[in-house]
Amino acid sequence: MKPHIQPVPLFWVKKIAMIKKEDLQKVIPHSGKMLLLSKIIDYNMEERRLTAEYHITEDCLFFDSVSGGVPAWAAFECIAQAFAALSGISGSKTGEKPKIGFILSVSKMQIFLPIIKPGSTIVINVKELDNMDSVYNFDGNIFLEGSLVLEGKFTVKASNGEII
């Protein structure tokens, strides 16, 4: 199965686009164990796409000691956070604070690896397809060592800052 979004070759990574872990809270509302991105390695606001990395450890919120890793199905939250980062970067240009998003749907999700082992670094790609008001549709995928782990389509509703 050919992925919808190709991984970004390393020679395309723009160093000026990198956002390190300590600066991620400027663009996404997650923190502590709920922060499932290690860094943003590339983004393009004209193309509405972003590439991030997450280093899997036993401290990961979704780590399962029985299976010895993070179930790949849980990694869709990494995709959601990568999209939150794309949205947060866009909003930061106009002075907006990071917004909380609610996942409305996940469709066409395919999982090609059941468990992601600690010590692995996954590459997360997201691309916005369209939006209407505060509802966004996007494609996302995750690669591990060049192999597709997970892909799907997502719909998210951005909040206005109020928790329901």
CA atoms within 13 A on the CB side of 121: 7
Give domain status of residue 41, yes or no: yes
Q: What number is the average pLDDT over the span 109-116? A: 96
Q: What is the CATH number for 55?
A: 3.10.129.10
For the entire predicted model, the pTM comes to 0.84
Asked whether residue 101 carries a pLDDT value surpassing 80, the answer given is yes
Work out the burial of residue 2: count CB atoms within 10 Å of its CB; fewer than 13 is exposed, 13-18 middle, 19 or more buried.
Answer: exposed
Give the integer Cα–Cα distance in Å for 85 and 95: 14
The number of domains in the chain is 1
What pLDDT is stored for residue 33 in this prediction? 84
Give domain status of residue 13, yes or no: no
- Element holding 78 (H helix, E strand): helix 76-92
Quickly count: other Cβ atoms within 10 Å of residue 59's Cβ.
Answer: 8
Boundaries of domain holding 59: 18-158
Give domain status of residue 164, yes or no: no
